[in-house]
């Protein structure tokens, strides 16, 4: 591919690109379209939340990005890996070195008879990292996640929040570029969830790990700059948060919601807008100097 066509490619500079991503599950005679042409771009260094109703396709998206499931069609790239054409060996390498993954059931992330330090050590041993480096990295990660004091404890001696923070440390052992977390706080109370999100925020800032979190937890919105909503297997809207400084020097957070336009120019008009103006099948579009209007068919 020439450099000019690469530069003009959708999301060419991003760490994660999903372009018209489709995942169809065949269950008996029935086809389920879990992802129906989903577009998503995540830049290196971002911490992004993915939200959406149950069944909207969030876990499917994360499984594909984590290299656990394969898409049916479309394009998905993470770092230099094309997720539609990876060999089995590529997939092992990808899951060991490029991505970290944690899921809701904390017990499933941990090994009951190992200490936190031994668990963080394990993926590095598999990757043949020398012992001295393994030791330093384990302590660094447990410290970054605020569970250094748990290094010599086994999962049964840890609270739910500590278990999740240790699981995150384990997933980061081999210095992945991106951490995918599927409902990491699903089993935790509000205060503990906030601690876990805070620890992820620290890891994102201090270690530069890009993080994508799938969650139902409303508390996540205070911890991320970008929340992407998925509806029916497609990205439907995004909320961007930024901190603004007022004249008196005080700071406050501004959250703005955007509709997402796909690459063919399609935008979903929310149901309440359609109902309020009785927008049905045909609408009138007009280009104004700095905006576009949509009017009912008079």
Ligand X SMILES: Nc1ncnc2c1ncn2[C@@H]1O[C@H](COP(=O)(O)OP(=O)(O)OP(=O)(O)O)[C@@H](O)[C@H]1O
Q: Binding to ligand X by residue 57, rule CB under 6 A?
A: yes
18: which residues sit within 8 A by CB, 6+ positions away?
A: 38, 39, 40, 41, 61, 65, 74, 75, 76
* Least distance between ligand X and beta carbon 270 (Å): 19
Q: Which is nearer to ligand X, 62 or 173 (CB)?
A: 62
Scanning 55-63, 114-122, 159-167, 244-252 for contacts with ligand X by CB under 6 A, the matching segment is 55-63
Least distance to ligand X from the beta carbon of 46, Å? 20
Tell how strand 30-42 and strand 16-27 pair up. antiparallel
Span interacting with ligand X, options 53-61, 122-130, 151-159, 264-272, rule CB under 6 A: 53-61
Segment contacting ligand X (CB under 6 A): 24-32, 95-103, 142-150, 164-172?
24-32
Window of 58-66, 116-124, 266-274, 282-290 that interacts with ligand X by CB under 6 A: 58-66
The residue among 35 and 172 lying less far from ligand X, judged by its C-beta, is 35
* Residue 121 beta carbon to ligand X: minimum distance, rounded to whole angstroms: 31
Does 25 engage in binding with ligand X (CB under 6 A)?
yes
Q: Is 27 in the site for ligand X (CB under 6 A)?
A: yes
**For residues 34 and 116, which CB has a smaller minimum distance to ligand X in the complex?**
34
What is the closest distance, in whole angstroms, from the C-beta atom of residue 23 to ligand X in the complex?
8
The binding site for ligand X (CB under 6 A) comprises 25, 27, 32, 34, 52, 54-60
């Amino acid at each position: 591919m020439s450099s000019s066509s690469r530069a003009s490619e959708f999301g060419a500079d991003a760490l994660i690109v999903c372009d018209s991503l489709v995942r169809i599950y065949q269950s008996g005679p029935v086809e389920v379209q879990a992802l129906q042409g989903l577009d998503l771009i995540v830049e290196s260094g971002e911490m992004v939340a993915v939200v959406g109703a149950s069944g909207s396709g969030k876990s499917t998206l994360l499984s594909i990005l984590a290299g656990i499931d394969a898409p049916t069609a479309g394009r998905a790239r993470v770092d230099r890996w094309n997720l539609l054409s990876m060999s089995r060996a590529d997939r092992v390498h990808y899951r060991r070195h490029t991505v970290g993954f944690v899921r809701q059931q904390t017990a499933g992330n941990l090994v009951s008879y190992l200490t936190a330090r031994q668990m963080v050590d394990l993926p590095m041993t598999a990757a043949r990292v020398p012992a001295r480096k393994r030791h330093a990295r384990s302590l660094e990660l447990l410290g970054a996640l605020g569970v250094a004091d748990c290094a010599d404890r086994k999962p049964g001696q840890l609270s739910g929040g500590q278990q999740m923070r240790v699981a995150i440390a384990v997933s980061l052992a081999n210095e992945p570029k991106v951490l995918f977390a599927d409902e990491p706080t699903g089993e935790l109370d509000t205060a503990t969830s906030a601690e876990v999100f805070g620890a992820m925020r620290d890891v994102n800032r201090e270690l530069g790990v890009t993080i994508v979190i799938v969650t139902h937890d409303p508390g996540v919105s205070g911890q991320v700059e970008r929340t992407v909503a998925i509806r029916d297997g497609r990205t439907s809207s995004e909320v961007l948060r930024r901190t603004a400084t007022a004249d008196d020097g005080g700071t406050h957070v501004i959250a703005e919601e955007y509709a997402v336009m796909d690459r063919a120019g399609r935008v979903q008009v929310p149901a309440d807008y359609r109902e309020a103006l009785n927008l049905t099948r045909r609408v009138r579009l007009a280009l104004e100097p700095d905006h576009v209007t949509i009017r009912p068919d008079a």
